[in-house]
Amino acid sequence: MKKILFLILSFILIFNGFNKKNIVKADELDLFSTSVCLMEPISKRVIYSKNPHQKLYPASMTKMMGLYLILEAVENKKISFDDEVIVSSYASSMGGTQIFLEENEKMKVQDLFKAVAINSSNDAIVALGEYLASSNDNFVKMMNDKAKQFNMNDTHFNNATGFDDPEHYTSSYDMALLGSYLVGFEDKILKYSSMQEGYVRENTSKPFWLVNTNKLLKYYEGMDGLKTGFTSKAGYNLTATAKRNGVRIVSTVMNLDTIAHRSQDTIKLLDYGFSKLKAISLYSKDDVVSTFEIDASLNKYLITSCKQEIKIILNKEDDENDILINAVLEKETPYIENELVGYLEIKTPSGAIFKYNLYALNSVSKPNFITYLLNILKHLFI
Compute the distance between CA of residue 301 and CA of residue 283 in angstroms, rounded to an integer.
Answer: 20
Catalytic residue among 120, 121, 180, 251: 120
Catalytic residue among 33, 43, 60, 180: 60
Is the previous residue joined to 349 through a cis bond, with omega within 30 degrees of 0?
Answer: no
Q: What distances in angstroms separate CA 304 from CA 74, 330, 354, 359, one per listed residue?
A: 28, 13, 17, 5
Residue 242's SS3 state is strand
Q: Tell me the chain's radius of gyration from C-alpha atoms.
A: 27
Compute the distance between CA of residue 218 and CA of residue 194 in angstroms, rounded to an integer.
Answer: 9
Using alpha carbons, select from 27, 226, 11 the residue that is nearest to residue 118: 226
Using alpha carbons, select from 266, 177, 173 the residue that is nearest to residue 216: 266
Catalytic residue among 33, 35, 43, 63: 63
Active site residue 141: no
Which ranges of the chain would DSSP assign to H, the alpha helix? 2-22, 63-75, 89-92, 109-119, 122-133, 136-149, 172-182, 187-193, 216-219, 259-276, 369-380
* Contacts (Cβ under 8 Å, ≥6 apart) of 362: 301, 302, 303, 335, 337
Active site residue 44: no
Residue 42's SS3 state is coil
What is the edge-to-edge ordering of all strands in the sheet holding 45-50?
Answer: 45-50, 35-40, 247-256, 235-244, 223-231
In eight-state DSSP terms, residue 56 is: B
Active site residue 63: yes
245: Cα within 13 Å, side-chain hemisphere: 12
Report, as residue numbers or ranges, the catalytic residues.
60, 63, 120
